[in-house]
Structure 1
């Protein structure tokens, strides 16, 4: 999987690089991506100041976090735990 910041999309590809699905709904500058233990994709969406979760099949999404974020650029979750890190571009401004 990879994000396309300028194209406002997240793409899922197989090991050969063939596109499986694309997700473009409600994204505004997707940046860093990671996955949870269920295969869902967690997206740091820079332009909307939100963390969004996309289902592993790319068909559904929901906002995971929006309060207090200023241009989130990357996200990293600890596997098998409910914690991780979010990097804001303009934190505390």
Structure 2
């Protein structure tokens, strides 16, 4: 497996070989990414400007198999540890902490998480649902559950306002879900070249979405435009 770096200005690409079966990736900033390795029970922090010469910046051992992970704020990653739930990892303090959010139906091999503005979102592929939890100091309470139209949600991301974008594997679509879970719409479909989409990421700096298909090597970036509702 490899990590593909693409320059959005020039279109140039570079491949970085990854070993030990990587599972999930979180973009920390323009120069650093975090990648989980469940079988090795560790998270690698990669500096993209030096990795070809020096390798990963560091490996962080995890007390269990670590699957989906996401960036929460400048210094914190969230990661699902099998059998132990969602944990935060403070990169500055180099410490893990349980979020005490009970997600009884979470399947680590297939379900994904993202977080923004004290909210944790996750997919449930088996039920075709997206869940939203509040993140606080003591526990996390369920705020809403979305289950309209989705057949097999595979990946999700959230924008600055807490809106959610989720790929649906079976229907080959990208859905928008409002921050309160009350409204939704299909943004992209097969006519937009989506086919078995498995990854989506919202770039805060550029207000754009990166969407990736599973099998055909197709990846595309889409600008997001917001309209004020009177």
TM-score (norm 2): 0.38
Rg comparison, structure with higher value: 2
**Greater than 4 Å deviation, 4+ residue runs:** none
The alignment status of 1:10 with 2:130, answered yes or no, reads yes
Once residues 46 and 22 of structure 1 are traced to their aligned partners in structure 2, the CA distance between those partners, rounded to angstroms, is: 19
Once residues 69 and 91 of structure 1 are traced to their aligned partners in structure 2, the CA distance between those partners, rounded to angstroms, is: 10
> CA contact under 8 A between 1:40 and 1:53: conserved in structure 2?
yes
Of the structure 1 ranges 57-66 and 81-90, higher mean CA displacement relative to structure 2 is found in: 81-90
Aligned counterpart, 1:91: 216
Aligned counterpart, 1:56: 179
Runs of 5+ consecutive residues of structure 1 not aligned to the other structure = none
Choose from 195, 198, 208 the match for 1:70: 195
- The alignment partner of 1:42 has SS state of strand
Q: How do 1:19-30 residues align onto structure 2 when only pairs under 5 Å count?
A: 19-30=142-153
Of the structure 1 ranges 56-65 and 82-91, higher mean CA displacement relative to structure 2 is found in: 82-91
Once residues 17 and 48 of structure 1 are traced to their aligned partners in structure 2, the CA distance between those partners, rounded to angstroms, is: 31
- Residue 36 of structure 1: CA displacement? 1.3
Aligned counterpart, 1:81: 206
Name the count of aligned residue pairs.
Answer: 93
- Residue 46 of structure 1: CA displacement? 0.9
- Residue 74 of structure 1: CA displacement? 1.3
